[in-house]
């Protein structure tokens, strides 16, 4: 599935929700379902500092593709993180580096990618793209 298809799927899933409670319950559930990051990767150098919640991001490069695992100490952030992982993990570095991320806006969570939110999500997206750019040369 392409990055675009992954994003469109998430937008579809969110279109069923009538109110914020259902939407957030879904995000919280995704946060709880996110496969745990391997403890050895939950170290300071993988820590993306947001102002309020911590996010850990680990990248693996296999067969020309980047695979991400991630975690956060806040469950809503973890839900958002899990969607970002779902969209970008398993794609080629080039696609990740040039990806246009529009699903967060489309599902009404635009503020989470703003600088004022400082929940680490924006920094995480930047870091994922950095990995993409750094590994693009190896293709």
Q: Which residues are catalytic?
A: 51
Q: Report the interhelical angle of 121-136 vs 75-88 (nearest 10°).
A: 20
Q: Answer for the pair 74, 52: CB distance below 8 angstroms, yes or no.
A: yes
- Selected binder of other proteins within 5, 13, 33, 73 (CB under 8 A): 73
Ramachandran angles phi, psi of 69, nearest 5°: -125, 150
Comparing CB distances to other proteins, the nearer of 75 and 106 is 75
3-state secondary structure of 138: coil
| Residues within window 5-34 making contact with other proteins, judged by CB under 8 A | 20-21, 24-25, 28
Residue 123 is encoded by which pair of tokens?
Answer: 């920094």
Q: Taking CB under 8 A as the rule, does residue 105 contact other proteins? A: no
Task: Provide the 8-state DSSP code for 101.
Answer: -
Task: Provide the 8-state DSSP code for 64.
Answer: T
Q: Report the interhelical angle of 3-14 vs 75-88 (nearest 10°).
A: 140
- Contact segment (CB under 8 A) with other proteins among 37-45, 58-66, 68-76, 130-138 equals 68-76
- Selected binder of other proteins within 75, 106, 113, 122 (CB under 8 A): 75
- Selected binder of other proteins within 119, 125, 128, 135 (CB under 8 A): 119
Q: Taking CB under 8 A as the rule, does residue 54 contact other proteins? A: yes
Comparing CB distances to other proteins, the nearer of 16 and 20 is 20
Binding site for other proteins (CB under 8 A): 20-21, 24-25, 28, 51-54, 73-77, 119
């Amino acid at each position: 599935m392409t990055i675009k298809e992954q994003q469109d799927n998430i937008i579809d899933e969110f279109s069923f929700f009538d109110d914020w409670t259902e939407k957030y319950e879904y995000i919280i559930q995704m946060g709880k379902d996110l496969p745990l990051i391997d403890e050895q990767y939950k170290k300071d150098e993988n820590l993306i500092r947001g102002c309020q919640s911590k996010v850990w991001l680990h990248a693996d490069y296999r067969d020309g593709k980047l695979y991400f695992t991630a975690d956060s100490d806040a469950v809503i952030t973890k839900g958002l993180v899990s969607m970002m992982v779902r969209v970008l993990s398993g794609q080629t570095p080039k696609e990740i580096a040039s990806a246009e991320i529009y699903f967060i806006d489309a599902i009404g969570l635009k503020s989470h990618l703003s600088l004022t939110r400082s929940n680490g999500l924006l920094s995480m997206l930047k870091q994922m793209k950095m990995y993409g750019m750094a590994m693009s040369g190896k293709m």
